Every structure is written in structure tokens, then in C-alpha cells.
Amino acid sequence: MTHTIEKIKTQRIKVSEKLVYVLETKKLNIYYDDFRAISEVNMKIERNKVTAIIGPSGCGKSTLLRSFNRMNELVQGSRISGEVLFHGQNLYAPDVDPVEVRHRIGMVFQKPNPFPKSIYENIAWGARVHGFKGNMDELVEYSLRQAALWEEVKDILDHSGLALSGGQQQRLCIARALAVQPEVILMDEPASALDPISTLHIEDLIRELSNHYTILIVTHNMQQAARVSDFTAFFNMNGDRSGYLVEYDNTNQLFTMPKNKLTEDYITGRFG
Amino acid sequence: MNGPSIQKPEIEFTDNIRDRNRYGRLWVYIFRFSTIIGIIALATLLFNIINQSSGYVVYEAKGDPAALTLDGVPIEEQTKDQLMRVLSSHLSKGAYSKLDRTKPFAERSRNDVYDLVVERIVKYEVVDSWLLWDSLTRKDEITAAVEEEYPEALLRFDVWINSDFLRRPQSSNPVIAGVRTAVLGSLWTIGITILFAFPLGVMAAIYLTEYAGDSWANRIIQTNINNLAGVPSIIYGILGLAIFVRALEPLTSGTLFGVTDPTSANGRTILSAGLTLGLLVLPLIIINAQEAIRAVPNSLRHAGYGLGATKWQTVWSHVLPNAIPGILTGTILAISRAIGETAPLVVIGASTVIYFDPEGPFSKFTTLPIQIYQWTSRPQDEFRFLAAAAILVLLALLLTLNAVAVLLRNRYSRRY
């Protein structure tokens, strides 16, 4: 099956297999008009690991996440300064097409948002958009298996994606993102709209996927961050309500021996 | 807790549940009253129209229909050939061959020839008529009065709206006048309106909602479109007169394509009317389509972009399919408005009396509302009955369109 998938990869952004860090931000500032939502973030995201971004509401976690695949551009008045590097290349360089960026760096949203089409079409559409020429049935099955949804939906592929439960819808959205063969998957509180059982399914899935994908996840739930992630970045707001990176470390380290007082206060529930 | 414990103020309620309920009921009465007024107005309108659209009519024939019996067959049952013989024996040679020249007898149906016999030889004329209400409540009185006053005449209960009425062209004799020319004119005009305004309106709406940024110029355009939707229709008539009838005359009269005779052709054609009405409904279609497109949740767009789809791929595959029921509903409602428009067509010079069917975009034409207007302004009562019948036809057309809109909305409505 790998050969079908190789076909989809567009190689305009060069991939270096040796790099340990897939993504890197350099002095990244994100603004909405005059308001600075994120200030001076420098962080490196390691390949095939799960990196969690935590912090109090309104500290710009989602804004930062969306800047990794240029989705924040869809918000009127947003702009950035600094650099976001993907395999060492600035994603915001003038010759980089956001469409290609989003192909390589997929996204799963907070609220499950399957297309009002059949389950099959939900998966197939993205691949078709990128000119997929291989065996579509194979790709659909492979993507659904990766998202641990195949067994539940293999007999109802022609049903509407909206007929599924919330948790299944979210896994469908993950499968849909996987089908276009991204390298990185951004997840914006993917389980916050789900019940505890569905949340567990998603968390297991994230662990599983991290063998093959680099995953960035924004979460409100510190237990979730502790359970699924390899690295955790803690963000907080400064006096201007602008988010900044307080501490970024190995998840174990950050949750057991935080170096910063603020981090300690936050993870022990003293604020936030 | 912040600071020292706070002092609880004195809190007292006047428990006036009864007053509040009474106050609420009063408003319900007012709402009910308003609804009833509306229903009464509607009922009066319908009663008025239906009252005029059927009733007793007294006919007197100038020629004696019994004298036209051929081989013992009364004219009502004669074949086309027999009717043609009757016609040729009672009309002058010149009049007969003139009829053949305007439309060869070979092309006329049996009913057409029958209508000719009635029109030219029997010459039924309405001498008196009653409204539906009177016909039902004072039946005996009417029959008695007719027998006394017009012993020779034919008393018949006529429903003015019937298949003959739909089939026959306009005529100066109310007995055989119909709405065919007007209905065809309306359909042709609306067809051109749809062809012109629908694609243009939807494309403009897509551009304005999905592509145009929030710039100063775009906001002015948007405001103007919103205002244009409220401009009185007669102003569109003046615009249509200046642009389509006058400035673009070679195009709208068809002389540019060599379809019509340049000496007699002018711009007062179906094409001009359709385009004028198209301009009239364009802002409505744009606004409705914009609403429908905006109603598609952003989460769908983001899902598309998040997969690396281009803007157009996302719009084409997800935004438009989900907006299309709303777009169609809005368009049909706009078209309903265009069907009922009279003023702009009067300004651009629709013919009020026309006896021949429109044959294409470059024909002279009349439409249903104009036909109604023309009939109501005639002095004879019978034309007012015809107008009432034509109003029912127009209402039926509008209700059908609205029903289609509702069906579309129900059939394609989605949840996200």
C-alpha cells in the first residue's frame, strides 16, 4: 500500500530525513490587528513525537497552533512576524503556497466537522483534491484503519458522516486528515467536545499515530497532556494579555519537576 | 472572599403574579387581533376575486345559431369541415380568404374554427351578468328577470376561468377572450429574466461573500446592492427603457442578428422586458444567495482548507452544494416578484392589446399583470370578470412557484 501513498507526496518543500526537529519557531509574534496574541515564541518540535501545548484560556494556544499550517491567515487582520520553519524552510516565505503547507501539515479541529457527505466521500475528497490517482478504496480503508474506525464503519461507508457519534466523527476527521498523507497533524482540543470514553479512544489513537506522525495538540486538560504527550509547552499571558512560552520540556519533567513557579502553580491547579 | 463580609440589603418582592399574567394576556389579545385583521383582509381579497370569476351570464346572439344547423347537426357538434362550410357560406369571400391569409385553415384546430363561427356569425354578446354571490343566493329572481326581459336570450352559469380561457388569445370580445398570449408572454419574459439574473446573481454573490475582502470599496458596493433591492420598480423601467429599448435597440429588437424586419422592429420586445426584470431582481438574488452562502458554517470551509484544498475547491465542493437550497429558494421568491411586476413593463412599452402569441425573444408581448390592468380599465363588466379570472391564473402561477421553493428547501435542507 505504501506505493499508492508515495504518489501523493508533493516534494516542493524539501524533506530532510536526518532532521530531528520538524518544526521550529523563531521569534514568532502573532497579531490580530494591533493586538499581539503571541509574543516571541522560540520552540522546536521533535519528529514523531506528541507535543502538547497547555495554558490558561485566552493565552493564544490555538492561535499558535494554527500558525503552524497558516490557518490563522483565514482570520481577518491577523499577521505574524518572525519565522516558522518546517524542515528548515520558512513557511511564511513569499514563495510558499499555504495550500501546500496545509497539505503537509494537517489539522483536526475542536468540534468534529465532517463534511455532510458519505463517510467514504469524507476521506476520498481530500485525496482527490490533491490529484490522487491510485486505488481510492484502498486509501479509504487504510486511512480508516489508521484512525481505528474501520471496524465500526466498514459496512456503512455510504452513510452520512454526520450520522456517526461525536467520537466517531472526530476519528473520521482524523482519518480524513491522514488520507492526504501529512507529516504533521495539528489537533486543537480534539477531545474537548467528547465524552470520557470517546476521549480515551482519541488519546489511544494519538499515541498510536505518533509512531508515524509528528503531532501537536492543544489541550485544556492537564491529565490529557500528561497521558498523551512526550513534550509539553506551558504558555501564559503577560500584562498585555499576550501569550508567551513559560516553560517547554519533556512532559515527565514538566509535570513532576517544573522549573518555573508559574508552571508549578498552574499544573497543581492554583490558577488557570 | 474579598474584604470584610458584605451587608445584605433589604430585599422585598411584590408578588404580583396575577397582574403579570393579565398583562401577558392583554398582549396575546392584541397579537390575535392583528392576525385576525390580516386574515380578514386576505379573505376579502379572495372572496372579491372569486366572486367576480364566475356567475350567471345572459347572452344574446346576433345571428341565430339554430339557422346554422348543417345536415341536422347543430354547430356545437359539427366537425371542422362542416364548420368551415358554415363559415364560407355566411362570410363574404374577401373576409374568408383574409382569415385564411392570417392563419391558413389547415393549421387551425376544430375549436379555433368553432370560435371563429361564434365570433363572426353567431356573435354572442353579453347583455347582462351577475356575480357569483348573487348567482347563488338569488338564482330564482335572476331566472325570472331574464325570462321577462330577454325572452330570446341564453342564460348560462359561466365560470370565467376555464380551459377555453387559458387556451384562447386576447380578443376584443369578452366572450371569447383568453389569457394565452399573456401567459406565454409572462413565461417568455421570466425565462429570459432567469437566464440573465440567476447565473449573474449567484456568481456576484460568491465573489462578494467568499473572495472580496472587507475593503472600503467592497463595503460601498455591498451597501449599494442592498439599497438597489429597495429601489421602486418603475425606476428600473426607466433604466430599461434607456438602456435596452433605446441604446441597445439593434440588439434587443433582433435586427443585429437579422431575425426581424428592420423597418418595423423596435426595442420593445420580450428580450428588453426580460433583461429589465433581470436587473430588477438581480440585487434580490445576490442578497439571498449571499445569505445562503454565509449560512454555510465556517467549520466546513476550515475543514476544506485544513486538508490543503484551494479556496475554489472548497467553495465548489462544500460551500455551494450546501448553499444551493437557500440560493434556489431566494431565486424563486425573487422570480415570483418579477412575474407580478407591471410598472417597469408599462414604462418599457409592453403592448396592452396583442392578439398573437409571442414567438421568441424579439416578439412584441404582453404579460399577465399588464393584461389584468388593461382588462380592469375597460368599461364593460365582463372584462372585469376576465380580469378576476386572470388574477386567479397569476395567483396559481405564484403559488406554484412558492410551493416549489418550499419543496426545494425541505428536500435539500441539511444539518451540519
Q: Contacts of residue B305 in chain A, CB cutoff 8 Å?
A: 71, 74, 102
| Residues B240, B382 within the same domain | yes
Q: Say whether both B66 and B215 belong to one domain.
A: no
B24 occurs within a structural domain: no
Res B186 pLDDT > 70 = yes
pLDDT band at residue B274 under the 50/70/90 scheme: very high
Is the Cβ–Cβ distance between A263 and A246 less than 8 Å? yes
Cβ <8 Å between A109 and B302: yes
Query: Which CATH number goes with the domain that contains B407?
Result: 1.10.3720.10
Distance CA B302, CA B308 (A): 10
Average pLDDT, chain B: 87
Q: Give the domain-ending residue among B91, B123, B158.
A: B158
Q: Which of B58, B50, B61, B46 is nearest to B159 (CA)?
A: B50
Residues B260, B223 share a domain: yes
* B301 found inside a domain: yes
Stretch B327-334: mean pLDDT: 90
Q: How confident is the model at residue B170 (pLDDT cuts 50, 70, 90)?
A: confident
Q: Is B295 on the interface with A (CB under 8 A)?
A: no
Instruction: Tell me if B306 and A99 make a contact (CB, 8 A cut-off).
Output: no
Q: Tell me what percent of chain A is helix, strand and coil, each rounded to the nearest 5.
A: 40, 25, 35
Q: How far apart are CA B303 and CA A173, in angstroms?
A: 9
**pLDDT (tens digit per residue) in B366-380:** 899 999 998 888 888
Whether residue A99 and residue B299 make contact (CB cut-off 8 A), yes or no, is: no
CB < 8 Å to A116, chain B: 300, 322, 414-416
Can you tell me the mean pLDDT for B388-392? 91
In a domain, B37, yes or no: no
CA distance B307 to chain A (A): 6
Residue numbers in A near B318 (CB within 8 A): 115
Q: In this complex, which of B306, B313, B416 lies closest to A116 when CB atoms are compared?
A: B416
Q: Examine the domain organization and report whether B120 and B253 are in the same domain.
A: no
pLDDT over 90 percentage in chain A? 75
Same domain, B200 and B112: no
**CA-based nearest residue in chain A for residue B316:** A129
Determine which of A15-24, A220-229, B109-118 has the lowest per-residue pLDDT on average: A15-24
Q: Which three cell numbers stand for residue B286?
A: 445576490
Q: With contacts defined as CB-CB under 8 Å, which chain A residues touch B415?
A: 116, 162
Residue to mutate among B214, B307, B315, with most A CBs inside 10 A, is B307
Task: Give how many domains chain B has, as a whole number.
Answer: 2
Q: Would you tell me which residues 6-65 of chain A have a C-beta closer than 8 angstroms to some C-beta of chain B?
A: none
Contact A64, A47 (CB under 8 A): no
Residue A9 reports pLDDT greater than 60: no
Distance CA B161, CA B50 (A): 10
Contact flag B303-A130 (C-beta cutoff 8 Å):
no
% of chain B at pLDDT higher than 90? 39
Same domain, yes or no: B272 and B400: yes
Tell me the average pLDDT across B387-398: 91
Residue B339 maps to a domain: yes
Q: What is the pLDDT of residue A17?
A: 60
Determine the pLDDT at residue B115: 79
pLDDT exceeds cutoff 50 at A106 = yes
Q: Taking the alpha carbons of A48, A54, A59, A62 in that order, is the dihedral positive or negative?
A: positive
Is the per-residue pLDDT at B70 higher than 80? no
If asked whether residues B319 and B360 sit together in one domain, one would say yes
User: Do B234 and B307 have their domain in common?
Assistant: yes
Sorted by sequence, the CB contacts under 8 Å of residue A53 that are 6+ apart come out as A61, A64, A65, A216, A217, A218, A219, A232, A233, A235
Residue A170, pLDDT above cutoff 90: yes
Q: Is residue B391 situated within a structural domain?
A: yes
Instruction: State the pLDDT at residue A13.
Output: 55
Chain A: give the shortest CA distance to residue B223, in Å: 20
Residue B144: inside a domain: yes
Instruction: Identify whether residues B127 and B263 lie together within a single domain.
Output: no
Query: Are B228 and B301 in the same domain?
Result: yes
Same domain, B204 and B320: yes
A72 vs B: CB within 8 A: no
Query: Average of pLDDT values for A29-39?
Result: 92
- Do A102 and B306 make contact, defined as CB atoms within 8 angstroms? yes
Query: Among B158, B191, B217, where does a domain finish?
Result: B158
Shared domain check, B144 and B185 = no
CB spacing of B306 vs A125 below 8 angstroms: no
Interface test with B, best of A13, A117, A123, A125 (most B CBs within 10 A): A125
What pLDDT does residue B52 have? Answer: 87
Instruction: With respect to residue B91, please indicate whether it lies within any of the assigned structural domains.
Output: yes
Stretch B52-60: mean pLDDT: 85
How far is it, in rounded angstroms, from Cα B188 to Cα A73? Answer: 47
Q: Is residue A176 scored above 80 in pLDDT? A: yes
CB contact under 8 A, B317 and A125: yes
Question: In terms of residue numbers, what domain contains B372?
Answer: 180-411
What pLDDT score does A151 carry? 92
Give the ipTM of the model, two decimals please: 0.88
Cβ-based contacts of B316 with chain A (< 8 Å)? none
Residue A6 confidence class, pLDDT cut points 50, 70, 90: very low
The 3-state DSSP class for residue B404 equals helix
Residue B36 domain-assigned (yes or no): no
Q: What distance in Å separates residue B356's CA from the closest CA in chain A?
A: 51
Report pLDDT for A3.
39
Examine the fold and report which residue of B124, B158, B192 is the final residue of a domain before the chain moves on: B158
